[in-house]
Structure 1
Amino acid sequence: MSRAFTQLARPSNSAFFSKPFTLNTLRAVRSALLENLSKLERPPGWASLDKKQTAAILIPFCNVREVPGILLQVRSRSMRSHSGEVSCPGGRVDELDLSLLDTALRETTEELGIPRDVIEVLGPFGPPEKSLRGDTVWPFIGFVHESTDRPNINDDEPLPSIDLSAIERTASKDEVAAVFHLPLAELANPSRLVSSLFRDQRPYWSVDVTDLVPTGEGVIGSTHSEEDEIGAGRDGRLEVWGLTGWFIFLVSQQILGQAKIQL
């Protein structure tokens, strides 16, 4: 593993947001996503998708107390797969869904209780990856607004912060053990980064979030396994690891870095 990491430099704080999301930063992220999308394969037509083996997730950007970050969840211990692990909201396509984006938004509402109309979709992200169950997972990025009422603010003014405690109350108790906010600046904090290999081949940084997650039964203490690798922990840690960790790593490297926001 050490040889694989010789070409993977630790990220610099200059590549990440340190100020709250604004209208201008959302435009920059959307532009970076469009640039990234031009290099990727297009998803197959909706009618030709194997919907039983297809999933979609949302990577939800947000401001919390004027700190920019990503809204994440710890899956309930009662879940049949990936229990007690960190994930973004998402899941398999339902037969009533109209698109991959529809899947990601529906799952976000079902798992976190966040209405669709407060989510501003910034764009698809990729490339898609296979889960260990064989599903092709397509990620999207969105921004969670504080409410449906969009304030009349200037382009550089911080967008209103969401109420994290309110989302904790609306999250599905059957599916979600905890909801937490991962500040973007922590993606460049060397003390949080853990060297990992995605699919035992591609080096990346997983993120130790043990101290960011509310403690309690069903939350802390997961371990990596061959079958469940959305995001668990090693040596008693809770990490953003596996498929979730890989997608967030790519977002930090390819999207936030390309956005070229003036810090």
Structure 2
Amino acid sequence: MPLETPGTGAREQLAALAARAGRAGFGAGRVTGTPAAPGARAAAVLVLFGMLDDHPSDHAPDAAVSRDLDVLLLARAATLRSHPGQVALPGGRVDPGDADTVAAALREAREETGIDTDGVEVLGALPPVPLEYSHHLVTPVLAWWRRPSPVRVVDVAESAAVFRAPVADLLAPANRGVTVLRRDGAEWRGPGFVVRHDAGEFLVWGFTAMLLDGLFTELGWTEDWDTGRELVLPPS
């Protein structure tokens, strides 16, 4: 039997989470707390983890998480009408030609980041998450990068940056906080993560931050952080 390579433990944890997700109730209730609206459009995102050996995090997590572990993210183009400038996971709507939500997540990731999906191992799909504001029902697809390939901005009209963010950086308490969105007299609060990359400093918030926060909590990776620290949202 081959020796365990760095990151194998994280892969097994993610695979186990995908296997138990339905029974554990992870998904709509834990991420957004809202039921799916009738007629919501199906969508999917790829939550792709791997080992970023050339840019490890400077932060040593409390949990058994390697400083090389990373997750694939992108920054949406500022000119987009929907969620301009936000950091997101690769993904989009399920097209009629997609076999299922897994196929949709892989296709969207290939179109948005240029990855070779033949090198991606799908670990499983989590229960779909309803997004009331955009009227979508989003299926998160957990995956592991068994054979990494280069990533890039494929279409500048769609994305401003594509990068692999060290998970340890996301877990670092200094990079965590709460985002507050005030609109039409209502207030929405959620988790936020500060991500620094060659392309600049980004704030992960909204659906992507909620999903990552829920994943990290379920996996036992979350460290104590200041839940009273407010992170300023970029101008919309």
Instruction: With the length of structure 1 as denominator, give the TM-score of the two structures.
Output: 0.64
User: 1:184/1:41 Cα in 2 relative to 1: closer, same or farther (>3 Å)?
Assistant: closer
2:52 corresponds to which of 64, 68, 93: 64
1:205 corresponds to which of 188, 191, 210: 191
The Cα shift of 1:125 comes to 2.0
SS in 1 for 2:207: helix
Which residue of structure 1 lines up, in the alignment, with residue 11 of structure 2? 26
- CA distance in 2 between counterparts of 1:121 and 1:34 reads 12
* Structure 2 portions without partners, runs of 5+: 29-37, 55-67, 223-236
Task: Between 249-258 and 75-84, report the one with greater CA deviation.
Answer: 249-258
Within a 5 Å distance, the mapping from 1:31-110 to structure 2 comes to 31-40=16-25, 53-65=41-53, 67-110=68-111
The Cα shift of 1:203 comes to 6.1
- CA distance in 2 between counterparts of 1:179 and 1:20 reads 24
- CA distance in 2 between counterparts of 1:190 and 1:25 reads 20
* Structure 1 portions without partners, runs of 5+: 1-18, 44-49, 147-161, 216-236, 259-263
Give the length in aligned residue pairs.
193
User: 1:69/1:133 Cα in 2 relative to 1: closer, same or farther (>3 Å)?
Assistant: same
Structure 1 residue 241 corresponds to structure 2 residue 223: no
SS in 2 for 1:108: helix
SS in 2 for 1:185: helix
The Cα shift of 1:28 comes to 2.7
The Cα shift of 1:117 comes to 1.0
User: 1:202/1:253 Cα in 2 relative to 1: closer, same or farther (>3 Å)?
Assistant: farther
User: 1:196/1:20 Cα in 2 relative to 1: closer, same or farther (>3 Å)?
Assistant: farther
Q: Kindly, what percent of the aligned residue pairs are identical?
A: 27
Instruction: With the length of structure 2 as denominator, give the TM-score of the two structures.
Output: 0.71
- CA distance in 2 between counterparts of 1:90 and 1:256 reads 25
Once superposed, what is the RMSD of the aligned Cα atoms? 3.0
SS in 1 for 2:20: helix
* 1:81-138 Cα distance to aligned partner (Å, 9 max, x none): 1221100000011111110111111101110111221110111124513152111111
User: 1:213/1:83 Cα in 2 relative to 1: closer, same or farther (>3 Å)?
Assistant: farther
Task: Between 174-183 and 103-112, report the one with greater CA deviation.
Answer: 174-183
Name whichever structure is richer in strand by fraction.
Answer: 2
- CA distance in 2 between counterparts of 1:87 and 1:138 reads 14
CA contact under 8 A between 2:72 and 2:89: conserved in structure 1? yes
- CA distance in 2 between counterparts of 1:38 and 1:202 reads 29
Which residue of structure 1 lines up, in the alignment, with residue 177 of structure 2? 194
Name whichever structure is richer in helix by fraction.
Answer: 1
